[in-house]
Amino acid sequence: MNDIAPRNGGLLAGRSIAILMEADYVEPELHYYLRRFPEEGARVVLLTRLWGQPSLTFRGHEYQIPITVDGDLEALEAGGLDEFDALIVPSGMVSDRLRYSQSAGELAPAVRLLRTAFATKGLLKGIICHGIWLAAPIPEAIRGRRVTCHNNLVADVRNMGAQYADQDVVVDGDLVTARTASHCHLFARMLIDLLAARQTRRSRLVVPMASSNSNGAIEPSAQERAEPQSAQASVNQLDFSVSDLVAGYVTSYDADRRVLDLRTTDGRPYRVMVSDATTAEFVRNLGDPYDDASGVLPELLLPGRHVFARGVFYPDSDERTFGATGLVFSGHGPADYSFERPDWWIQQLRELAVFYRRAQFGTAAHPDYGAYRTTLRLGGEKTGSYRQETDTISRLVYGMASAYMLTGDEDFLEVADRGTDYLRDHMRFVDRDEDVVYWYHGIDVGDGTETKVFASEFGDDYDAIPMYEQIYALGGPTQLYRITGDDRIAADIDGTLRLFQRFFLDPEHGGYFSHIDPVHLSPRHESLGHNRARKNWNSVGDHAPAYLINLFLATGDEKHSAMLESTYDLVVQHMPETGSPFVQERFHADWSPDRGWGWQQNRAVVGHNLKIAWNLMRLMAITPKSSYSELARRIGLTMPAFGSDQQRGGWYDVMERELQAGQRQHRFTWHNRKAWWQQEQAILAYQVLAGYLGDAEFVRQGREASAFYNAFFLDHDDGGVYFNVLADGIPYLLGNERFKGSHSMSLCHSAELCYLATVYQHLLLRREPLTLWFRPQPNGFRRDRVLRVAPDAFPPGRVRLEWVEVDGRPYPAFDPAAMTVKLPETGSPVTVRAHLVPADE
Amino acid sequence: MQLQKRTFGDVTVITLDGILDSGTAQAVQADLEHLIPDQGRVLLDLGKMSYMSSAGLRVMLLAYRRALASGARLALARLPADVREVMTATGFLDFFAVSDTVEEGLEALV
């Protein structure tokens, strides 16, 4: 009997959680659930086999505490699970008692209920400790799925065909398992996070699952019996051949019959027919030759290996045949992922930087920005356009500066340096009346003349100064400032920050407006139209990743950490909403949601959610707050089910934030293509989460995102990365998406990915050293003559500076823990190499 | 800052006399809103302007946009050397047709 009232208005208000019960339960565990879930607003219902009684009272394992149960699981079997959001099989001897049946081999009612639960995709199944015994009579339910359990039962779950993971809590799609009753709090917390992210029970799908009765014959499941067969009358049947991609882990390979069995990331099985015509290759980096794998398939197709299978589904029977046309392997050895090699992302950044260097400036010894053009074709050729957009130059500068930090190649530094000079000379507007700096949208050059383009000409931002462009105008110069400490850059950054504080800031409700009008510098002027008095994700949250964290790393200035904190407090306060797994991205001045704006309406950009997650974790190193890590973790746990493609790998673009009646998948707004920068957000979100929290699930998500990106986005023919690929990874090369220089392509995000993936992979994930390059000017970092070499905002004590070289000689004046170098007084720039190592924990 | 309006045929000539900076910009802005006609042609005579700051540049941008929106044609005449310099350096001069005298400006607008 459970008389604990749920809290009104909690995260789980209106949700119901069923817990199976029997004698020998673990008292602290059950008592925790009975209070913890109601605390979040959920109703808890205890179920058992009542044997015809109105109720039964069970005594606990340790203290013989009685609990009376009046919920009858046998009464639930036909459709009764629909009222629940989650079903929990607890620790202790509950599961063993519940699998009792009078006739040997007959499935006990609780086992049949569990089987129904497993067939109900979307009903969360929580199994902890010895609870997994209840699945033993129906091993098909957990075969191939990732689970954890009590140490004593590891062999049992392996015998059931599950993949044992040595973790306290494991999430495999809609199945959550935990190690022991002592982990019941972690288990409950995970269930709460996952339930909170699910909108309602209506997104549930019942999947008929073939099962065997005691004679071994196939019988239809309860759902199949219950639901009328309407196949003959149905429309839109997929009974034709269709080409597609399957991403998964090998579960077995029969080399004689050439039958390959895979499990997708969310645990669904696929059978792939390999043939003589199937090509096979290893994922390769930019600059690497084709790496054939077709000769060694039996040695490669070992259980656990990650592989992409491209092929054709044929409608031979209800179980379609999938004939592979090509395989792409993510690494050479069983646990090897090529993109985790120490030099992978560094090489990729070098190749990208060489591509843009050549495309913009040819082979000239020194780059001439007069020749720079924003629009580049697929192969890097220029078009008839004479436009130079400010933020695309800034992004190029960011990429080149980052490439210098990782490679020490001074050509990249010169491209960054001259680009910053060019921005200052041609794109900068110094408003002496207001004592602020802002940046033209761009300039048109041609025939020796130069026409300034004052305000944005993008449709979204027409005739306004968008915060987004001003933010990104700072991105490149700030990254260069980390290296050189150039005073002139600092002055421009400070002037632009004054623009933000004086004209974009909303002192009344907090945060920054997304646009101001160029004449009155007002966020509320009529001429702004639908951008009048608005705030959005970019105007508040994008400061941190675009320049502000880097500026804080370079200066250590508390006013920058204060701005970081205030912007992310607003992100945490206003952007997550119950009712959608995705954050709300647009707001009116008073922070009421704006769901009518332009193309955004009530839609989500998947990558913005992920970007919030990785930047919240970085802020944990600067202004730590539990609300930051909680939201980051929740986004990390919930986003794969909604924003990623669990069939093919990769991450989607823009999606509807809410389900409509009859839908069980959130709709794509325009298409199901995958933009390269969304992949960047996923890779970084999971690498940063894994780096901070060490969770194996986050490691896996990061790997899978990296695998898709490196397999399908690198343009091995022309250089650079593709803007967009179709859902199955084929490059989408039409219209604007053939370009490689636009505001979203110009070596900013692709370089940011290479830089941060290098940093996190080396120092936090694989615990390998990393050497960075800097080149401070003689007057650089004038305030204190201190060069700050921390590659990113790391948790305290995780990384230290081991040695420093100045102009090739060992240099002693540095602080290993603070990762700072006291610069020598010199008359010319010096080259500083900083060797960083993971610290002993 | 004084604004004076004269009409030569269908060309409106507006003379700006004085300093155009953050102190006067708002008033000048409001005056220009009234003085720039819908359609027709407008010549801004800057011969008596002694100083233009960034706020002044924004006023010029407003005049340009106001003319663009209403379908009026807009030109500048008699730019003092330092005003011309600041407008050139900041790219604002590219928005306008420019002439050395009011007479040339009137001809250019025909």
CATH label of the domain that carries residue B25: 3.30.750.24
Do the Cβ atoms of B90 and A452 come within 8 Å? yes
Residue B13: pLDDT over 50: yes
Pairing mode, strands A442-446 and A436-439: unpaired
Q: Is the ipTM of this complex over 0.85?
A: no
A423-478: per-residue pLDDT in tens? 999 999 998 888 999 999 999 998 778 888 877 766 777 778 999 999 999 999 99
Residue A209: pLDDT over 70: no
State the average pLDDT for chain A. 91
Total of domains in chain B = 1
The distance of B57 to chain A (nearest Cα, Å) reads 9
A74-97: per-residue pLDDT in tens? 888 667 888 899 999 999 999 999
A311-336: per-residue pLDDT in tens? 999 998 878 899 999 999 999 877 89
Of A799, A826, A823, A782, give the one whose Cα is nearest residue A555: A782
Query: Could you tell me if A439 lies within 8 Å of chain B, comparing CB atoms?
Result: no
Q: How confident is the model at residue A233 (pLDDT cuts 50, 70, 90)?
A: low
Mean pLDDT within A416-421: 98
A166-208: per-residue pLDDT in tens? 889 988 888 999 999 999 999 999 899 888 877 654 444 444 4
Which residue has better confidence, A410 or A207? A410
Q: Percent of chain A scored above 70 by pLDDT? A: 95
Mean pLDDT within A714-733: 96
Mean pLDDT within A821-840: 95
A816 burial (CB, 10 Å; 0-12 / 13-18 / 19+) is middle
Amino acid at A674: K
CA distance A413 to A393: 14
CA distance A603 to A613: 18
A280-289: per-residue pLDDT in tens? 999 999 999 9
Mean pLDDT within A103-120: 90
Pairing mode, strands A799-806 and A809-810: antiparallel
Residue A348: pLDDT over 50: yes
Residues 477-536 (A) with a CB less than 8 A from some CB of B: 518-521
Highest mean pLDDT among A445-454, A727-736, B88-97: A727-736
Residues 69-98 (B) with a CB less than 8 A from some CB of A: 90-92, 94
CA distance A438 to A518: 10
CA angle A256, A259, A264 (to 5 degrees): 150
CA distance A793 to A74: 55
Q: Is A279 helix (H, G, I), strand (E, B) or coil?
A: strand
- pLDDT, position B3: 92
Which residue in chain A is spatially nearest to B61 when comparing CA positions? Answer: A519
CA distance A611 to A384: 35
Spatial strand order in the sheet of A786-788: A786-788, A820-822, A814-815
Query: Could you tell me if A451 lies within 8 Å of chain B, comparing CB atoms?
Result: yes
Would you state the torsion angle of the CA atoms of residues A619, A571, A440, A588, taken in this order, to the nearest 10 degrees?
Answer: -170
Q: Is A189 helix (H, G, I), strand (E, B) or coil?
A: helix
Residue A219: pLDDT over 60: no
Which residue in chain A is spatially nearest to B20 when comparing CA positions? Answer: A433
- pLDDT, position A334: 72
Residue A420: pLDDT over 50: yes
Q: Which long-range contacts (CB under 8 A, 24 or more apart) does A78-84 make?
A: A78/A222, A78/A226, A79/A226, A81/A18, A81/A113, A81/A116, A81/A117, A81/A120, A81/A123, A82/A201, A82/A204, A83/A16, A84/A16, A84/A17, A84/A18, A84/A45, A84/A123
Phi, psi of A249 (to 5 degrees): -110, 135
Do the Cβ atoms of A518 and B61 come within 8 Å? yes
Query: Could you tell me if A443 lies within 8 Å of chain B, comparing CB atoms?
Result: yes
Helix (H) or strand (E) holding A164: strand A163-164
Query: Could you tell me if A440 lies within 8 Å of chain B, comparing CB atoms?
Result: yes
Q: Which of A229-243, A296-310, A608-622, A811-825 has the lowest mean pLDDT?
A: A229-243
Do the Cβ atoms of A452 and B58 come within 8 Å? no
Q: Which of A433, A450, A451 sits opposite B55 (nearest CB)?
A: A433
The conformation of residue A528, written as its DSSP 8-state character, comes to G
- Chain A hits for B22, CB-CB cut-off 8 Å, are 433-434
Q: How confident is the model at residue A224 (pLDDT cuts 50, 70, 90)?
A: very low
Residues 6+ apart with CB under 8 A from A626: none
Do the Cβ atoms of A431 and B61 come within 8 Å? no
**The two three-digit tokens of residue B4, written as one number:** 């004076």
Residues 10-69 (B) with a CB less than 8 A from some CB of A: 21-22, 25, 29, 53-55, 58-59, 61-62, 65
Mutate to test the interface with B, among A437, A454, A462, A521 (most CBs of B within 10 A): A454
The conformation of residue A721, written as its DSSP 8-state character, comes to B
CA separation (Å) from A646 to A268, A269, A705, A727?
9, 12, 11, 11
In terms of residue numbers, what domain contains B92?
Answer: 2-108
Q: Percent of chain A scored above 90 by pLDDT? A: 78
Do the Cβ atoms of A429 and B58 come within 8 Å? no
- pLDDT, position A222: 46
Residue B108: pLDDT over 90: no
Query: Could you tell me if A109 lies within 8 Å of chain B, comparing CB atoms?
Result: no
Q: For chain A, first and last CA: distance in Å?
A: 47
Q: How confident is the model at residue B55 (pLDDT cuts 50, 70, 90)?
A: confident
Do the Cβ atoms of A429 and B90 come within 8 Å? yes
Do the Cβ atoms of B62 and A519 come within 8 Å? yes
CA separation (Å) from A92 to A22, A165, A693, A819?
9, 21, 29, 50
Query: Could you tell me if A568 lies within 8 Å of chain B, comparing CB atoms?
Result: no
Amino acid at A795: P
A647-671: per-residue pLDDT in tens? 999 999 999 999 888 888 999 999 9
- Chain B hits for A438, CB-CB cut-off 8 Å, are none
Do the Cβ atoms of A452 and B91 come within 8 Å? yes
Residue A56: pLDDT over 50: yes
Of A402, A352, A346, give the one whose Cα is nearest residue A721: A352
Which residue in chain A is spatially nearest to B55 when comparing CA positions? Answer: A433
- Chain B hits for A451, CB-CB cut-off 8 Å, are 91, 94
Residues 6+ apart with CB under 8 A from A104: none
Q: Which of A430, A432, A452 sits opposite B94 (nearest CB)?
A: A452
Amino acid at B30: A
A544-603: per-residue pLDDT in tens? 999 999 999 999 999 999 999 999 999 999 999 988 999 999 999 999 999 999 999 999
Do the Cβ atoms of A430 and B62 come within 8 Å? no
- pLDDT, position A200: 56
Q: Which of A433, A449, A452 sits opposite B22 (nearest CB)?
A: A433
Mean pLDDT within A694-717: 96
The distance of B85 to chain A (nearest Cα, Å) reads 14
Contacts A–B by Cβ distance under 8 A: 39
Q: How confident is the model at residue A841 (pLDDT cuts 50, 70, 90)?
A: low
Amino acid at A140: E
Mutate to test the interface with A, among B94, B96, B98 (most CBs of A within 10 A): B94
Q: For chain B, first and last CA: distance in Å?
A: 28
The distance of B87 to chain A (nearest Cα, Å) reads 11
